[in-house]
Chains A and B, each alone.
Chain A
Amino acid sequence: MRQAGTESQVSEGQFDAYSVDAAYDRGEAVCVIGAGMAGLLAVKNLREQGFTVDCYERETAVGGSWNWRHDRSPVYSSTHLVSSRTHTEFPDFPMPDDWPDYPHHSQVLAYLERYTDHFGLREHIWFGSEIARIEPTGEGRWDVIVKPVSGNAARRLRYSAVVIANGHNWDPRMPSYKGQEEFRGEIVHSSAYKDPSKVRGRKVLVVGAGNSGCDIAGEIAVNAEKCWHSTRRGYWFIPKYMFGRPGDQTMARLSWLPFGLRQKVSEFAIRRVVGDPRRFGLKRPEHALFASHPIVNSHLLHHIGHGAITPKPDIEYFTEDAVHFTDGTSVKPQTVVMATGYRTTFDFCDPALLGMQGADAAPSLIGHMFASKTPTLAVAGLLQADGGIFPLVHWQTVAIAKWLRLRQSDPEAARQFWAKVSPDAGRRYVHGKLNDSPRHRLEISYEVYLKALGRMIEELDGVK
């Protein structure tokens, strides 16, 4: 109610009014979009560099994807981390060391809430606020149009920079197979799948072999009457524990080996420990280990071995009551769960700003962070990695904050830095051969990326 005075300039229902309104200038303040993991890191690390920060969050609480209470959250009741605790925690805010190796999603949310309060971030976050539009003003500054989630009393504010941290696991990617509309059973995206009680006693087909597809298939297997799992390709399944330790710790112990050799040793170990996927009726992986981010899952093969999951190849078409696969077989599920991932969506800005060409294209950014044409626009957390991404995003936001600071404190050094990193737009940070399909464009190897980020931060710090 306090804001009624300012909001009355934009009359109800007159949605275009803000475009002519004068912007409220927030001076050197930085705008952060989203208060999920990446947004919180951005707020904290920008504050640490001395910036005033306004963070806008659509929901009424922090946590983004991990905030299971809101309907855009992709988590299901049994979601656990797939990278171990010490590979996942923020480098400067450890998770409690008496937590399990693989914390539950509710612990991850509790961790993000603690981080928020510990560093006093809440006072910088405007909840229930959506970003309608961001527009460059021309002098490197940004006009941001903020509107409340309920109501349309939009406001135009001007910021010195914008950090986009809106996440990439909230806009469901629904495939469309031939005949899908005629299917009379239920088709849901995995984002709508929350807990196994809904599938009890039903026949369920799970589509997709990402980490969530395999997790969900395992959960449905023990609850539903029947579970089929359709996958398109062969995958590497890395067990959650190898040689008595979380798999990522075991892998890190091999990191003294040259990458190619490490890949061979790991492939050998996985073949020996997990076995040949073809014995389980799955395809053999076509790509080398780590060439695409691995599936960390110990129970999928276990359930297949116990007959609780029947593996199926790719879907060819749907009919009224059945799903037909490319090998000519068909099944009659009552529910189909599409664990087919999420689209990267920025509905509040011109995709060209982020170097996106075409509808389903991935952004082309410098170091997976900076928009190459607009140095005061950055994206945090737009990554898929072969390890926990929290520490990567921490260092991303440190680099972003230091970059914005350098621009103000030493324009000449900033110009040199920008000239040096600019040619890196769209560069891939992976080991050896890479899987270059559009959906793998966000993938990086954490080792390669952290080394590159470290060099970038040292350069911003002026270390020669």
Chain B
Amino acid sequence: MSRLDLLRLSDRREPVPHAARELLTSEPDEPAGKPTLLFVGGDRRGAQIFAEHWLAHAAGRGFPAYALSVRGQGKSAGIKGDLRAWASDVAQTAASLPAQPVLIGHSKGARILAEALGRYPARAAVFVAPRLGRLVPPTPAGSPPTLIVGDPDDKRAPRQSLEKAAAHYGVAPLFFQGAGHEMMLAAAWREPLDAILDWLDGTVVKE
């Protein structure tokens, strides 16, 4: 873990300015007392890729589900930003939800998630096919339970990078052979999501 930075001078000198953020929602019909989920994607499509299957399915299982397009993505595509701004978009959105959400980041969105975890204590964190690059993730606020999910044959988030991310957070990765990189859009989209939700049921929902 990197050293603690309590001073956060970059934010004290030059706060990230406000930007309109696109937030897609799928609420369960009946409140089931399950934690809220907030999905973050890694490319220009932003929230859209989660709206295809995952949001509705999660809501169907009782999890209020949200997907965010940070600046530069989806409907917020016109606004420029950097990793600090994207992480701020995630923290701002997480803090605006009625209850502490579980943060889920996919591909390069996992990088944004890792950065955001330094400034928001997620209920739990899930990295899906994470591409963290050379990022040394900050110490997560509030040490949330963490899950790493991926396809060991995925070229973009290969086995060794999944294992590296898992080692960093001190957990074991969960492999889905053949799920592909964009598993939320694949034919077998249901399997990895159900595994994530089962894990949340076991870790976070307990009481």
Question: Which residues between 99 and 126 of chain A lie within 8 Å of chain B, taking CB atoms?
Answer: 114, 117-120
Question: Which residues between 1 and 55 of chain B lie within 8 Å of chain A, taking CB atoms?
Answer: 1, 3-9, 11-18
Query: Would you call A321 an interface residue if the criterion is a C-beta within 8 Å of the partner chain's C-beta atoms?
Result: no
* CA distance in complex: A120, B141 (Å): 17
Least distance between B64 CB and chain A CB atoms (Å): 14
A-B contact pairs, 12 of them (CB 8 A): A91-B119, A92-B91, A92-B141, A94-B92, A97-B17, A117-B98, A120-B99, A249-B12, A249-B13, A450-B6, A451-B7, A454-B7
Query: Would you call B97 an interface residue if the criterion is a C-beta within 8 Å of the partner chain's C-beta atoms?
Result: yes
Interface flags for B100-112 (1: CB within 8 Å of A; 0: not) read: 1000000000000
Question: Which residues between 416 and 464 of chain A lie within 8 Å of chain B, taking CB atoms?
Answer: 447, 450-451, 453-454, 457-458, 463
* CA distance in complex: A463, B4 (Å): 10
| Given A96-B96, A118-B95, A118-B99, A91 and B8 contact (CB-CB distance below 8 Å) | yes
Q: Are A86 and B4 closer than 8 Å at their CB atoms?
A: no
Query: Would you call B74 an interface residue if the criterion is a C-beta within 8 Å of the partner chain's C-beta atoms?
Result: no
User: Beyond A92-B119, A447-B7, A463-B1: 6 further Cβ-contacts under 8 Å?
Assistant: A93-B95, A98-B18, A118-B95, A118-B99, A249-B12, A453-B6
Question: Which residues between 81 and 125 of chain B lie within 8 Å of chain A, taking CB atoms?
Answer: 88, 91-92, 95-100, 119-121
Least distance between B120 CB and chain A CB atoms (Å): 6
* CA distance in complex: A463, B3 (Å): 9
Interface flags for B54-94 (1: CB within 8 Å of A; 0: not) read: 00000000000000000000000000000000001001100
Determine the residue in chain A with the shortest Cβ distance to B122: A92
Query: Would you call B133 an interface residue if the criterion is a C-beta within 8 Å of the partner chain's C-beta atoms?
Result: no
Query: Would you call B178 an interface residue if the criterion is a C-beta within 8 Å of the partner chain's C-beta atoms?
Result: no
Q: Are A249 and B100 closer than 8 Å at their CB atoms?
A: no
Query: Would you call A87 an interface residue if the criterion is a C-beta within 8 Å of the partner chain's C-beta atoms?
Result: yes
* CA distance in complex: A94, B15 (Å): 11
Query: Would you call A326 an interface residue if the criterion is a C-beta within 8 Å of the partner chain's C-beta atoms?
Result: no
Interface SS, B side: loop
Q: Are B6 and A86 closer than 8 Å at their CB atoms?
A: no
Query: Which chain A residues lie closer than 8 Å to B141 at the CB level?
Result: 91-92
B15 contacts which of A48, A96, A249, A447 (Cβ < 8 Å)?
A: A249
Query: Would you call A253 an interface residue if the criterion is a C-beta within 8 Å of the partner chain's C-beta atoms?
Result: yes
Name the residue among A97, A248, A253, A447 with the largest chain B CB count within 10 angstroms. Answer: A97
* CA distance in complex: A86, B119 (Å): 13
Least distance between A89 CB and chain B CB atoms (Å): 9
Determine the residue in chain B with the shortest Cβ distance to A115: B95
Query: Would you call A56 an interface residue if the criterion is a C-beta within 8 Å of the partner chain's C-beta atoms?
Result: no
Q: Are A458 and B100 closer than 8 Å at their CB atoms?
A: no
Interface flags for A368-397 (1: CB within 8 Å of B; 0: not) read: 000000000000000000000001000100
Query: Would you call A269 an interface residue if the criterion is a C-beta within 8 Å of the partner chain's C-beta atoms?
Result: no
Q: Are A86 and B7 closer than 8 Å at their CB atoms?
A: no
Query: Which chain B residues lie closer than 8 Å to A87 at the CB level?
Result: 12
By a beta-carbon cutoff of 8 Å, the part of chain B in contact with chain A is: 1, 3-9, 11-18, 88, 91-92, 95-100, 119-121, 141-143
The total of chain A residues at the interface (CB under 8 A) is 31
The 9 closest A-B pairs by CB, nearest first: A252-B12, A86-B15, A97-B18, A450-B6, A454-B6, A92-B141, A98-B18, A48-B142, A252-B13
Least distance between B76 CB and chain A CB atoms (Å): 13
Query: Which chain A residues lie closer than 8 Å to B119 at the CB level?
Result: 91-92, 94
Query: Which chain A residues lie closer than 8 Å to B96 at the CB level?
Result: 96
Query: Which chain B residues lie closer than 8 Å to A457 at the CB level?
Result: 4, 6
Query: Which chain B residues lie closer than 8 Å to A463 at the CB level?
Result: 1, 3
B92 contacts which of A96, A117, A249 (Cβ < 8 Å)?
A: A96
Query: Which chain A residues lie closer than 8 Å to B7 at the CB level?
Result: 447, 450-451, 454
| Given A48-B121, A92-B121, A118 and B8 contact (CB-CB distance below 8 Å) | no
* CA distance in complex: A390, B177 (Å): 47
Query: Which chain B residues lie closer than 8 Å to A96 at the CB level?
Result: 92, 95-96
Query: Would you call A78 an interface residue if the criterion is a C-beta within 8 Å of the partner chain's C-beta atoms?
Result: no
| Given A94-B119, A96-B96, A118-B99, A458 and B3 contact (CB-CB distance below 8 Å) | yes
Determine the residue in chain A with the shortest Cβ distance to B20: A98
Determine the residue in chain B with the shortest Cβ distance to A119: B100
Query: Which chain A residues lie closer than 8 Å to B142 at the CB level?
Result: 48, 92
Q: Are A86 and B12 closer than 8 Å at their CB atoms?
A: yes
Query: Would you call A255 an interface residue if the criterion is a C-beta within 8 Å of the partner chain's C-beta atoms?
Result: yes
Query: Which chain A residues lie closer than 8 Å to B16 at the CB level?
Result: 97
* CA distance in complex: A252, B15 (Å): 11
* CA distance in complex: A48, B121 (Å): 9
Least distance between B93 CB and chain A CB atoms (Å): 10
* CA distance in complex: A275, B121 (Å): 45
